[in-house]
Structure 1
Amino acid sequence: MAPSPAAPRAAADLQAIFDEAQVEGFLHARDIDTGREVALRADAPVIVASLRKIPIALAYARLAAAGWLDRAARHTITAVNREGGGIGTDSCLHDVTISNRDLAFFMLSMSDNAATDKLMEILGADHVRALAAELGCPRIPVGRYRDLWDPVWEELDIDPGGDIDAQLEKVSEERIRGLTMLDPTRSASSTPREITSLLTAIWRDEAGPAEACAEVRDLMSRQLSAHRLIAGFDDKVKVAAKNGSLWGVLNEAGVVEYPDGGRYAVAVFLRTPALGGRNPAADAAIARAARAAVDHLRRTPADTTPEETTCP
């Protein structure tokens, strides 16, 4: 089918948003109920960062829904799980005892890395990896954070038992940008299209039992961060999302639900010129691009067959 008359404008609008923010953008948006799509480099490999926590949450919810995992069972997060300098239990000075459900809640609501590692211990990396592959994300990074970061410290000649921040100050930006972890062609990765496919399956109750999918949707709706994708929509629009950040990487993916029943899965991935720190322009670009993509899908006639608007 030929692109809709609005397709060239959508392409230009999305590229202009990323150009203005001086970032490289990758985007895929999908109407969950019709299959219509808007895409910008949607099949390029991208670093997912903390978006990897979505399949971890789904693995937990599926086991809980099947009765194989007690949501109320309690576990203790210790120094073995904590990296320090993060948020949630990752920044606690003392051991924290918490339920399986609340590990998943902390993991998605505030991106708590220590809670993620404890949940990974409970679920098992092989189980989560198999689930990710089953749902179309075979290369998404799976494992404890320490297992994922140990190769980074080795590559940068950093002693993980010492003051990591002090050692990083002596590492050049060029060496950091050259890390295997930050190259999606050499490390675990996904694509914007794979991530929206995963979200679509969760919202259509096709990623597992309806009870499990509903729990993941609820947990994602509790994310505390609201300065990226969520900022593109007013209070009448429900947004459930998960963000992610690494050196030079800012991401967010989620589902936008309108009062009229329209549901749209959106994944936006950015590569930024700055390695870290605050980047309001990039955060705003995620919100603006998500809104522009959803607006285009909502303007597309409902009786058309699914199509993809591919931006150059």
Structure 2
Amino acid sequence: MTTAARTAGADQVHTALSSTFAEARVAGSVHVRDLDTEAEFGHGADTRVVLASVFKIPIALEYARQAAAGELDPARRHTVTSAYRAGGSGTDGCAYDVEMSARDLAFMMMTISDNAATDLLLDVVGPDRVRATLDELGFPGFGFSSCAALDDDIRRELGLAPGRSLDEQLAGVPDERLLALGACAPGSSPSSTPREVTALLAAIWRDEAGPARACAEVRDIMARQVWQHRLVSGFPEAGVRLAGKTGTDFAVRNEAGVVTYPDGKRYAVGVFLRTSTAAERQPLADRAIGRAARIAVDHLRAGT
């Protein structure tokens, strides 16, 4: 195929993606990477984006690396106390203390994005170790944080009470103030680029991000994610497997993961959106993530 033909094909994909994002009233960035051939396609792929809970991927990786190395007992019990709970999903919304293994903290963090489990697991593995692993793997710009620290930043920005539920206090805050929060800006919230995110996923799927046992555990947990409304919506066919991690915060709607086809072909995908509203329910944006991922993956599978 000629260079001109390849360029024309890419131009059509960029147009389709721009249309998809415009219809959903979002700004979007995409990167897709063929894990076997290194072919890739990007649309704003080097734009820094807010990761939201996509930053939990390297925390899961560090847990698995330490478990594989015998530095951490995955079966050891840890207690999610009120110091960690803020009222969200999973243990984050439990009324009383919950005790579970380190492995199950990672499971809850990745499958339902449990923030309390995330913060406890981050304390167990050590933020310095997560940072060191990212740096070692060549991702010095890949950000992460505790969820509590991000919530505290929001309270300070909005002048909210530190001892009360954040969700309760956000109920009366105007949309424009929520959209202007640092949590929605890559300069003040954990961020990366779509290209960097798919590179991290590629390292995990190729057993290059740590011991093979560790990478396999991260892949297995990510394949158990429960959310079916973003990446999965673009790949409804039987036999197509997905493993991913969502990220959501006010104007931020993301998902990054790996799509595996019955023919064995694997594609790391990252779709990152900035919406025009801070509404909790944004089905148009959610579906746009699946559509954008499918458009980009289809482009690589067509060999254009």
Q: TM-score, normalised by structure 1?
A: 0.92
- Aligned AA (1:2): T
User: 16, 27, 30: which one pairs with 1:27?
Assistant: 30
Counterpart for residue 180 of structure 1 = 182
Q: Which runs of 5+ in 1 are unaligned?
A: 302-312
Deviations 1:211-269 (A, max 9, x none): 10000000000000011001111221010000010011100010001111111000000
User: 92, 107, 119: which one pairs with 2:94?
Assistant: 92
The offset of 1:140, in angstroms, is 3.5
The offset of 1:163, in angstroms, is 4.6
Percent identity reads: 53
* Pair 1:116-2:118 in alignment: yes
Q: Is the 8 A contact 1:135 1:207 kept in 2?
A: yes
Q: Is the 8 A contact 1:246 1:276 kept in 2?
A: no
Aligned counterparts of 2:215 and 2:269: Cα–Cα separation in 1? 17
Q: Is the 8 A contact 1:137 1:195 kept in 2?
A: no
Cα-Cα RMSD: 1.5
Counterpart for residue 309 of structure 1 = none
Aligned counterparts of 2:173 and 2:61: Cα–Cα separation in 1? 37
Aligned counterparts of 2:231 and 2:66: Cα–Cα separation in 1? 29
* Change beyond 3 A, Cα 1:116–1:187: closer
Aligned counterparts of 2:118 and 2:165: Cα–Cα separation in 1? 23
Counterpart for residue 282 of structure 2 = 279
User: 160, 164, 167: which one pairs with 2:166?
Assistant: 164
Q: Is the 8 A contact 1:240 1:255 kept in 2?
A: yes
User: 254, 260, 282: which one pairs with 1:251?
Assistant: 254
Q: Is the 8 A contact 1:254 1:265 kept in 2?
A: yes
Counterpart for residue 151 of structure 1 = 153
Counterpart for residue 80 of structure 1 = 83
User: 101, 106, 109: which one pairs with 1:107?
Assistant: 109
3-state SS of paired residue (2:3): coil
Q: Is the 8 A contact 1:255 1:265 kept in 2?
A: yes
How many residues get paired?
300
The offset of 1:180, in angstroms, is 2.1
Q: Which runs of 5+ in 2 are unaligned?
A: none
* Pair 1:71-2:71 in alignment: no
Counterpart for residue 231 of structure 2 = 229
Q: TM-score, normalised by structure 2?
A: 0.94
The offset of 1:166, in angstroms, is 4.4
Counterpart for residue 130 of structure 1 = 132
